[in-house]
Copies of this chain bind each other. A is one copy, B any other.
Amino acid sequence: MILKLSPADTFDRAKMNDLIKRRFFYDNSFAIYGGITGQYDYGPMGCDLVDNLLAEWHKHFVIQERMLKVNCSILTPEPVLKASGHVDKFADYMVKDVKTGECFRLDHLIKQHFEKVMADKKTSAEEKEALSLTVARLDGMTMEEMNDLMRKHDMKSPLTGNNLTDATEFNLMFPISIGPSGNLKGFLRPETAQGIFVNFKRLLEYNQGKLPFACAQVGNAYRNEISPRSGLLRVREFTMAEIEHFCDPDDKNHPKFAQVADTEMVLYSGCAQMDGESAKRMTIGEAVHGGMVANETLGYYMARIQQYLLRIGINPKKLRFRQHLSNEMAHYACDCWDAECLTSYGWIECVGCADRSAYDLQQHTKGSGVRMCVERPLKEAVMVDSLAAQPDKGIIGKTFKKDAKAVQEALTALTIEQAEQMDKALTEQGEYELSGFKMTRAMVPSFKREQKKVFVEEIVPSVIEPSFGVGRVFYSLLEHSFRVREDDDKRTFFSLATVVAPIKVSVLPLSNKQEFVPFTTQLADALTDLNLSVKIDDSTGSIGRRYARTDEIGIPLGITVDFDTVNKVPHTVTVRERDSTQQVRMPIEEVPLTIKNLADGKTQWKDVTDKWPIFTSQETTK
């Protein structure tokens, strides 16, 4: 149900992949050395398209929402990922071919096996129904349940037909040893989020101690996938763009929610999925106020994510937000919605948007011993009991020297329960370990019970996390933009929005005759001065063939320098729009700003055709 393709879709993946490879949008890494699965190199076009997607992302989120930004280390010491849960839980179930040792991810293997059985005409409708339900339940299954399924249905290696081993857990992180001694174990980070969490205190301070605030990070993450075989959709090295929005756990309203409340979205709730209903179109305002989406902040980000995806050119008919079912949601998350794009691989998750509650900050508080919380003003001050250590600063100073300050701070930070425990230990055992320091009775001769007036309380913020898989957004956009000319099915191209197109404009002299050169150079330089990326194609070949080449890489606008440019005053050139193939003729000095405005989205092609006459053929031809 989730993976079905829209039947009217005539998309030809092989044809698109041919174009992608031929014009080097991206390709397998290290191909001259035989290549490697799950890793891709982006060529000039892919690279620019990704950069443009990220530049728009930056404007749309970081600038417009005034977010903070960090860029954190990828090499991550083990304790950080132990605290986050990745060391213990970030694993897939793996089985191996008993003869060749080839590895398979068990849930994918089961799903593929069942899909094959379901596609078989001999399979009864009841059986299909049962298998389909099992596939939907896979995400929540234990290793034992999957093992039993594999054995019950007698599954073999899909490559060799050999038997398979029992499943084992395979942790997806790449282990790494930091430094020359080999003693410091770490991993390549499996997500960018943890870098933001471990910097929470600095970021809060940067934001002058106030909630809410959001912090963004764009960077690589690494997952040692067991057998990646879905192109860009499952890779071992990838770019993420993540936002962590920290807010008061008791107030998840968003001041700008009213601005997006009327945004219509296609929402596929958990209930609808369980009841076999289809996704529903409604406004995000209705969804939040009706309780389908957990809170305004989550809803606000969902609407903003949709705005972004549509702006860069995702097809609105191939976009939906699907709510996680309780069995696929992490146990700490309150609510989670994936922005899914429909591609030839089915509906694929491109952006996750989750309310992660206070889980991450709590875990790092436990793991590091550093409290990750915010002071919230109380409506009225309260009196609280406290038990204040009365330290002998002289002894502490002499004993701990430069660490004395840290010891003092640890004493001040003691809760009443901890202080009672310490007092008791010092009396009974004569010593107590405080934050790694051995304390004696002489250092803290007594504790004093007192009442303190308190104006603030400490709270652990909740985290709302929009998380973008940049490669998946990129790939979906390519599929949604791929076109074949109606009159010639060999002429394929990408109908990329001007705002993200890698190259904004081409300059094509009619031939490589010397007389065209000054005009070509002048135009290209003027366009470059406006920071527009320009492609000059002065190769031999008809203008038509060269337009086809520039269409292939999605260049939205093309300028031709012809004999009328050279012979007639004022000097004019033609400007052509890729999708319509319409051309207009305009004076050469009008061109740079016209192109700039089109590239920035300030004017549309229609404005250009309103102003300048549609061009059909040159007056002079030599």
Contact = CB atoms under 8 A, between A and B. Distances in A.
A77 B180 contact: no
Interface stretch (A31-39, A122-130, A157-165, A351-359): A31-39
A202 B43 contact: yes
A63 interface: yes
Interface residues of A, number: 78
A81 B24 CA distance: 23
B237 A73 contact: yes
B206 A24 contact: yes
A364 B180 CA distance: 29
Interface in A200-221: 201-203, 205-206, 208, 215, 220
Contacts of A37: 179
A316 B75 CA distance: 36
Instruction: With a 10 A CB-CB cut-off, give which of A30, A69, A531 has the most chain B CB atoms.
Output: A30
Contact of A178 (B41, B69, B224): B224
Interface string A29-70: 111110011111111101110100000000100011010111
A75 B38 CA distance: 11
State the majority secondary structure of interface residues on A: mixed
A71 B180 contact: no
Contacts of A370: 32
Nearest to A525: B64
A613 to B, nearest CB: 32
Given A27-B202, A75-B237, A103-B179, A33 B70 contact: no
Number of copies of this kind of chain in the complex: 2
Nearest to A368: B32
Contacts of A201: 32
A224 B180 contact: yes
A59 B531 contact: yes
A315 interface: no
Select the residue from A29, A103, A227 with max chain B CB neighbours within 10 A: A29
A42 B69 CA distance: 8
A74 interface: yes
Given A32-B364, A41-B72, 8 more contacts: A24-B206, A43-B202, A66-B528, A66-B536, A75-B236, A178-B236, A179-B226, A180-B226
16 contacts: A27-B202, A30-B77, A33-B77, A33-B80, A36-B184, A40-B73, A41-B71, A44-B206, A47-B69, A66-B528, A174-B176, A176-B176, A176-B188, A179-B224, A180-B226, A180-B227
